[in-house]
Structure 1
């Protein structure tokens, strides 16, 4: 007697395939926007870094809003954090790059403004994570034991 055939593997749902395709198109779009700014646009390097920082800040805000709207924090929160880091790094680099010939006082003002914005964002992240931890502890106390 022949052994029974193995059970059929579960197939991907069409909605999962469509979501993966949408994510791939979105990733390609983000990469193409940043590549266009950094490689193709005929601007000085400090201007390209500034525009990269601004675009990355918009992407970070967008991913943060998406994570809040969907409740999915596995993918969108790290992406928001990564784009926040790229944004801050690009903006700091555009201020401090040697080809930036702006007045040193103006550079200092922009540096301080950017530092204040970064610190406010980090403070907000800290407050939200503390509140999330408090909510998780409160929910853990509500478990009904059999």
Structure 2
């Protein structure tokens, strides 16, 4: 009699993985829904200010600037929380530009005296320079972080 070979451990028969569902993960779906609702709210606020409310041009510009600066701050806080450089940071910058332009337009379209327009323009310019300085510092720090991360070596 021949000795039988020792028993070997073979992998159990596992069925091949089934193709994944075509639905995105729940977190992505919720994020897209939140973005859609946010876009609707944004459009409705600006639509109300520009088309529904019976305001003078300088008032429309002021309210558009005010709403834009609130959205810019909201997107900046979102960027600070998520460090998302593809969506949140450009939206924060875009709404800041819209708000500054709207506030400048409101100043020059309004019926204030020339001295008041000059003072408002100087005040707004100081605020814009502060924000631009903060953007410069953030960009410099982000560049420093990117350089530091690029210098790291991966150990295999």
Same fold by TM-score greater than 0.5: yes
1:31 to 43, 55, 58: 43
Partner residue, 1:139: 149
**Large movers: runs of 4+ above 2 Å:** 7-11
**Inter-partner Cα distance in structure 1 for 2:27 and 2:21:** 18
> Over aligned residues, Cα RMSD in angstroms?
1.5
TM-score by length of 1: 0.88
TM-score by length of 2: 0.82
Structure whose residues are more often helix by fraction: 1
1:1-146 equivalences under 5 Å are 10-97=22-109, 100-144=110-154
**Inter-partner Cα distance in structure 1 for 2:93 and 2:138:** 14
Cα deviation 1:92-146 (Å, max 9, x = unaligned): 111112xx21111001000011111111111110111011101111122222355
Aligned length: 138
**Inter-partner Cα distance in structure 2 for 1:130 and 1:15:** 32
**Inter-partner Cα distance in structure 2 for 1:18 and 1:140:** 33
Q: Unpaired runs of 5+ in structure 2?
A: 1-18
